[in-house]
Homo-oligomer: A and B are copies of this chain.
Amino acid sequence: MKEEINVQAVIIGASGYSGEELVRLLIRHPRVHLAGLTSRQHFGKKLAEVFPRFANHPDAKTIGFIKPEPDLVRKLLKEALLKESSKDLPPVVFLALPHGVAFEWAAPMTEAGACVIDLSADFRLRDASVYLEYYGHPHPTPGLMKDAIYGLPEINRSEIRKARLIASPGCYPTSILLPLIPLLREKLIDPAGIVVNSLSGVTGAGRKAEEAFLFCECNESLRAYGVPKHRHLSEIEQELSLAARKPVVIQFTPHLVPVNRGIHTTICVRPAAKLKDDVSEAINRCYQQAYANEPFVRMLGSATMPDTKRVTMTNVIEIGHRFDPRSGNLLIFSAEDNLTKGAAGQAIQSMNIVCGFPETTGLQ
Q: Which residues of A contact B (CB under 8 A)?
A: 17, 28, 52-53, 55-57, 193, 195, 197, 199, 201-203, 207-211, 213-225, 227-229, 249-251, 253, 255, 257-264, 266, 268, 295-296, 298, 300, 304-314, 316, 318, 322-324, 326-327, 329, 331, 333, 335, 364
Residues A214 and B215 in contact in the complex (CB < 8 Å), given A53-B314, A324-B229, A331-B228: yes
Residues A253 and B199 in contact in the complex (CB < 8 Å), given A222-B259, A307-B223: no
Which residues on B sit within 8 Å (CB–CB) of A250?
Answer: 327
Which residues on B sit within 8 Å (CB–CB) of A209?
Answer: 209-211, 214
| Cα separation A319 to B158 with both chains bound (whole Å) | 47
Q: What are 6 A-B contacts defined by CB distance under 8 Å?
A: A56-B295, A56-B296, A201-B216, A220-B309, A251-B324, A257-B258
In the complex the two chains form, is B216's CB within 8 Å of A322's CB? Answer: no
Residues A308 and B223 in contact in the complex (CB < 8 Å), given A228-B331, A257-B257: yes
Shortest Cβ distance from A273 into chain B, in angstroms? 16
| Cα separation A360 to B120 with both chains bound (whole Å) | 35
Q: Which partner residue on chain B sits nearest A320 by CB separation?
A: B224
In the complex the two chains form, is B220's CB within 8 Å of A326's CB? Answer: no
| Cα separation A322 to B298 with both chains bound (whole Å) | 35
Shortest Cβ distance from A191 into chain B, in angstroms? 13
Q: How many copies does the complex hold?
A: 4
Shortest Cβ distance from A51 into chain B, in angstroms? 8
Residues A219 and B56 in contact in the complex (CB < 8 Å), given A207-B214, A228-B322, A251-B268: no
| Cα separation A306 to B260 with both chains bound (whole Å) | 20
| Cα separation A333 to B225 with both chains bound (whole Å) | 10
In the complex the two chains form, is A260's CB within 8 Å of B28's CB? Answer: no
Which residues on B sit within 8 Å (CB–CB) of A306?
Answer: 223-224
Q: Which partner residue on chain B sits nearest A313 by CB separation?
A: B313
In the complex the two chains form, is B225's CB within 8 Å of A305's CB? Answer: yes
Which residues on B sit within 8 Å (CB–CB) of A266?
Answer: 197, 224, 253, 255
In the complex the two chains form, is A219's CB within 8 Å of B258's CB? Answer: yes
Interface hub of A218, A221, A333 (most chain B Cβ within 10 A): A221
Contact for A364 among B57, B203, B223, CB less than 8 A: B57
In the complex the two chains form, is A56's CB within 8 Å of B257's CB? Answer: no
Shortest Cβ distance from A187 into chain B, in angstroms? 21
| Cα separation A223 to B304 with both chains bound (whole Å) | 10
In the complex the two chains form, is A203's CB within 8 Å of B229's CB? Answer: no
Residues A298 and B55 in contact in the complex (CB < 8 Å), given A220-B262, A222-B307, A327-B250: yes
Shortest Cβ distance from A45 into chain B, in angstroms? 13
Residues A335 and B261 in contact in the complex (CB < 8 Å), given A251-B327, A313-B313: no
In the complex the two chains form, is A316's CB within 8 Å of B56's CB? Answer: yes
Shortest Cβ distance from A347 into chain B, in angstroms? 19
Q: Which partner residue on chain B sits nearest A310 by CB separation?
A: B53
Residues A322 and B227 in contact in the complex (CB < 8 Å), given A251-B329, A327-B250: yes
| Cα separation A207 to B209 with both chains bound (whole Å) | 11
Which residues on B sit within 8 Å (CB–CB) of A255?
Answer: 199, 264, 266
Shortest Cβ distance from A144 into chain B, in angstroms? 28
Residues A220 and B324 in contact in the complex (CB < 8 Å), given A56-B296, A202-B215, A227-B331: no
3 closest A-B pairs by beta carbon, nearest first, are A228-B324, A221-B309, A222-B264
| Cα separation A100 to B268 with both chains bound (whole Å) | 32
| Cα separation A307 to B225 with both chains bound (whole Å) | 10
Question: Given A214-B214, A219-B259, A223-B309, list of 19 further CB < 8 A pairs?
Answer: A52-B298, A52-B318, A56-B295, A56-B298, A197-B253, A199-B222, A201-B222, A202-B216, A214-B215, A215-B260, A220-B262, A221-B309, A222-B307, A223-B335, A225-B305, A228-B322, A229-B326, A250-B327, A251-B327
